[in-house]
Amino acid sequence: MINGSILKTKIFNITLICAFFLALGAFPTKALSQENKPEGGEKKFNPQEIIMEHIADKHEWHMYGKSYLPLPIILYTDKGLETFSSAHLQPQGTVYAGKYYSYMLVNNKIKVADTNGKIDEVNNKKVLDFSITQNVASMWMTGIILILVFFSMSSAYRKRPGKGPKGIQSWMEPLVLFIRDDVALPNIGVKYKAYMPLLLTIFFFILINNIFGMIPVFPGAFNLTGNIAVTLVLSVIVLLVVNLKANKYYWKHIFVPNPWWLFPIMIPVEIVSIFSKPIALMIRLFANITAGHIIVLSLISLIYIFGTQWAAVVSVPFTVFIDCIEVLVAFLQAYIFTMLTSLFIGMAIQEHHDHEVI
């Protein structure tokens, strides 16, 4: 009896997983169609506009159909802080009169405008947008998920000390061990322990946001790790950690290259390399995730470009295929970012340098 029910749940899980992958392909179709239709049949379908809109950050979180989750808008103006709900700015082009200025949304960006909807370029520069956008909200959501998952995991270790992993532990422990044994240990060496929290946080932060970004329905469908601001922050953290933890060999390698007559070439090159490594990290993650979203959306857009649902016969299987690749990419990019971070840290803190000047 018990065995039977376990078997059933397993089958159920497989169907769930299949359904999930099918849904990846199926849902954007609906989302796009519902977004497109209200704007009027006479307007020509513009895939670039729609794709760019999906990729960019937004001030509201699309839920189902026409319903949107309004998000708080926080503006730092020269006159003071201003907060209001993004519902006041919907639909796009609506002018909302705030405490200090009046605002409207243009391409999901908040602009200072007069009551007629004319953008005030001078005052626009005085307003900094610190809104809780879709990306910020989704980042908090994934952050809370990470905290719940790993706090429960750590309490499981506390409750059953010395026992084998169980439940959520057995899902997450291989990944944690993978980061420790195959990423941190070989690249950093014996001092890896101090960097484990950073590496694990980076890995799981990127991974969960990659995965959630691919879910085409409400709690997902954002493009956080494909946003340059997020990858910028991550790589700046890497840059700071690498250079603040670097030892004398690292700096010697940069400022005292061998032989001496290479100084004029090597010093600028080495200084550039300090920054080029994190910049490469930033661009790689951003480009990979954004490209994945663009491909999926483009394939779905094919249906509307051809104007017949028969195009779905081609584009939906392709989308499913690309989604499968994107799941791989989600793991791969999280791994590569973490691996390169640990590699840079390892290069900065290693004791014996190949180019050491005697």
Considering the complex, state which of residue 22 and residue 228 has its C-beta at the smaller distance from another protein: 228
Could you say whether residue 147 binds another protein (CB under 8 A)?
yes
Looking at the Cβ atoms of 34 and 48, the one nearer to another protein is: 48
User: Phi and psi for 47 in degrees, rounded to 5?
Assistant: -60, -35
Torsion sign (Cα): 311, 21, 61, 203: negative
Q: Is 215 in the site for another protein (CB under 8 A)?
A: no
Span of 12-20, 64-72, 147-155, 337-345 interacting with another protein by CB under 8 A: 147-155
Task: From 41-49, 51-59, 113-121, 246-254, give the range in contact with another protein by CB under 8 A.
Answer: 51-59
Contact status: 275 vs another protein (CB under 8 A): no
Query: Should residue 129 be labelled a site residue for another protein when binding is judged by CB under 8 A?
Result: yes
CA 296 – CA 316 distance, rounded (Å): 9
Q: Does residue 55 interact with another protein by CB under 8 A?
A: yes
Q: Is residue 177 near another protein by the rule CB under 8 A?
A: yes
Q: Least distance (Å) from another protein to the CB of residue 151?
A: 6
Q: How far lies 341's CA from each of 106, 149, 201, 305, 334, in Å?
A: 37, 24, 12, 42, 11
- Reference 333, options 298, 290, 300; nearest CA is 290
201 binds another protein (CB under 8 A): yes
Give whole-number Cα distances, 326 to 71, 216, 219, 294, in Å: 28, 13, 18, 11
Q: Quick check: 229 binds another protein (CB under 8 A)?
A: yes
Question: Do β-strands 68-70 and 109-112 pair in parallel, antiparallel, or remain unpaired?
Answer: unpaired
Shortest Cβ distance from residue 355 to another protein (Å)? 33
The β-bridge relationship of strands 81-85 and 72-76 is: antiparallel
Name which position in 23, 26, 52, 332 contacts another protein (CB under 8 A): 52
Residue 139 CB, nearest distance to another protein (Å)? 5
Distance CA 320, CA 180 (A): 32
Residues near 131 by beta carbon (within 8 Å), at least 6 away in sequence? 59, 71, 72, 73, 74, 75, 86, 110
| Total binding residues toward another protein, as defined by CB under 8 A | 50
> 316 or 334: whose CB is closer to another protein?
334
Half-sphere exposure (Cβ direction) of 119: Cα atoms closer than 13 Å: 12
Q: Which is nearer to another protein, 84 or 204 (CB)?
A: 204
> Looking up tokens 């299949």, which residue turns up?
18
Binding site for another protein (CB under 8 A): 52, 55-57, 74, 107, 128-133, 135-136, 139-140, 143, 146-147, 150-151, 153-154, 157-158, 161-163, 173, 176-177, 180, 193, 196-198, 200-201, 204-205, 227-230, 232-234, 237, 286, 290
